[in-house]
Structures are given as C-alpha cells and as structure tokens.
Chains A and B, each alone.
Chain A
Amino acid sequence: MCNFRIANFGAALIMLAALLSGCAGMQPDPILRTGPGVDFDSTHIAAFRENQDKILAQLYKSAGLTLQERAQPTSAADWAMVINAGMDYADQRCEAYLHALFRLNRDKSTAVSQIGLVGAATAGILAAVKATAKEVAITAILFGLAASTVENYSSNLLYELEPSSVRTLVKGLQAGYRGGLPSPVNYNTRPASVAVMRGYAALCVPANIEAEVNLAVKKSVPSTSPGDASKGQPPVTTHADVVAITVPAAARAQVTVLKERVGKLLDRVAKLKGAAAVALSSIMPLRTDPAFDDFVKLRDPNGLRFTQDTAAVAFATSWLVLSAKTDDSVTKWEQALAQVDGS
C-alpha cells in the first residue's frame, strides 16, 4: 500500500513538473517587456505603410471608387465613402465576434449538460471564439493599433458576461461613435481618415470592451427604496428599474375572492408542456390590454414563447398574475387554458 502511495505521489510530481515546464516555455511577447518604445524603426514603418496601402486599396474598391494605382481620394466626399466602407468592414468582423461570444455562452450551457461532450465541445467552441477574436484584433492592428493593446483576446471576462449585455454595450459605443462624426463627414487626408476607422475598429476589441464594461460598472448608481419597519418591509436597492412599465393596477380581489382560481390557473399553466404551452402563446388572453405590447417587448423580445415551451410557460405565468385581476379576466384565462389543456 505504502509503495503504491509513493508511486502515485511520484507520478503526480512528474506531471506537475511537466506542467510547470510547459508554463515556463510560454515566453511573453517582447513588447510586454519593452513597451512600444520611443525609437521608430524604418523597416517596421515601411511594412506598416505597405500593409496600409493594400488595405486602403481594397477599401477604395469597397467604397466604389475607381482610382489609378497608388492614387488616393482627393476630396472629403470620397474619403467619407472610404471611411464608411472601413467602418462597415469593422462592423462585419465585430458582428462575427459578438455572435461567437453568444454561441460560446449558449453552447457552453448545453455542453455542460452533456457531460461526455464537455471536453471536446468546449475546446472546439473556445478555439472558434479565440479565432474570431483574433480576427477582430488583427483588423484593429491593420488599422495601426499596437498589438499589445489587443492581444488579450484569450481573456476570460468576456466569455463569462451575458452576451446580450456585451452586444448592447458595443452597439451603443458604435452608435455613439458614428453619431459623433462631423456631418457631413469631411476628413480629407489619409491619416485622419485612417484614424477615424482605427478608432471605430478599436471599439470591438476585447481589451476595449472589458475596459468599457468595468467603466460601466463603476459608473452605475443603484436606486433604493427605503424600508418600512411598520410593514416589515426591508429596503430594496437595485439597478433594475432602468426600464419600467406600468401594467394594470393591482387588485385586492386577486388575493381575496379570486385567490383560489388564480392559484389553480398558475398551476395549470406551469404544467403545460410542448405544443400545448406554445399554443397558449397564440391565444394569450387579454392581449388587447394597453400594457401587453410593452410587456411583450421587454419580457420576450425574441418571441421565444412561440418556439420554446419553457419560455411559453414563463411568459404565460408572468402575464397571468399581471392581467388576471377581475372575475371577467380570470374567466378569460380559464377559457383559454381549457383550449390547450382540455380540462
């Protein structure tokens, strides 16, 4: 037994040593030690310019400009079209990256439930996301950003954030950037135009997104509802009331004379599965209530209640407690449920 333990311990040590030696082999990018430096390297500058020439030549074509070789736009209007083409390209790469983040988030959840596939699936997804993030980074580098500012595409923070929040943040930054351009867009030199495109591309770079996420968190201010000791009500503090909608007034009847019927309705809705649950979404009671459209936009903006039974049940239970407040409205719910669950 003792020999067995020693053997296991030895094996663990060997594995640890192998892992550590692997880490030691990971040499950081030299620029991390030296910074961008103060001396300009003519070789690097020549390569940078040649690369930029090629990119701009493609953007001229994307902008619909026909120019002689090595010629460049001469008017601000032409540069505006080039800037627009460059920003459209950056949009396309950014969209691919955001989509990859979304898929990572969703597929990761699925993979976790399929234990046998976790390793392969997660590795594959991560590889895909890293590849896409790398392309975004490269796009930014092509516009002249220092590599050291964009190469942390393997960062974990963005993989953990809710992808729709990341998307909202990035889209807000991009809309703000486009809105901040002069009207008309009248940059009439190559450096100025490239700087505009570079700034736009940088908005979707992982390092920038992470910085903006941190800034957004630091700047957020929660709202607080004071507690009321006489009602046993503790204080509530939240960031959630940024978007609030008014729905039909609460009704005492819902928790008095209608309490039992509403409770049964909730139980019946919760038991719905498959096609029956989805069918309820199509005959949702009290859809003509003025608050219904606003509630739909916030609760189910992607219409999942028409395709997923769990979403259909979640939507129906929430709308039920917000709308079933009178004898008439409870009756309408009972009639609708009878159509889908047959009871």
Chain B
Amino acid sequence: MPSTFVTKEALPAGTTPDEVKEMIRLRIKAGAIRCWQQGDTLLTEWNVLGEQD
C-alpha cells in the first residue's frame, strides 16, 4: 500500500486559470499534500490516513 495516492479530476472546458488556482487552494485547505494542473486534468496528492503520523 503506497503512503500517498493521487486523484484525477477532469477539468471542464473553459475553466480559467483563476478558477484552477481556486480549486487548488480548496484542495490544499482540505488536507491535500499538493495539487496541480496537468493539461485538462487536476491532480491532487493525498496521504493515506494513519501512515503519515
């Protein structure tokens, strides 16, 4: 079992850079390790609960 994993969210066409920035901020606030855009996808890295104590 990895200690981190990544979720992929398709970004709808027309999403502006500011909206992407806000989505990233929201995910970081929600506890993500990091979040970044890769083409038309928003990638978010999360830790596995209990394995990063």
Contact = CB atoms under 8 A, between A and B. Distances in A.
A172 to B, nearest CB: 11
A314 B30 CA distance: 8
Chain B facing A: main interface SS: mixed
Interface residues of A, number: 50
A245 interface: yes
Nearest to A314: B31
Interface stretch (A61-69, A77-85, A148-156, A234-242): A234-242
Nearest to A313: B31
Contact of B30 (A105, A228, A266, A304): A266
Contacts of B34: 236, 238
Contacts of A300: 48-50
A168 interface: yes
A244 interface: yes
Contact of A247 (B7, B31, B49): B7
21 contacts: A164-B1, A236-B43, A243-B5, A245-B5, A246-B9, A250-B11, A250-B15, A250-B23, A251-B12, A262-B26, A295-B7, A300-B50, A302-B50, A311-B50, A315-B49, A317-B30, A318-B46, A321-B26, A321-B29, A322-B7, A322-B9
Given A299-B46, A318-B32, A320-B30, 12 more contacts: A232-B17, A236-B36, A241-B45, A243-B6, A244-B8, A245-B8, A250-B10, A252-B19, A254-B23, A259-B22, A302-B49, A322-B9
Q: Which 3 A-B pairs have the closest CB atoms?
A: A255-B22, A249-B10, A250-B9
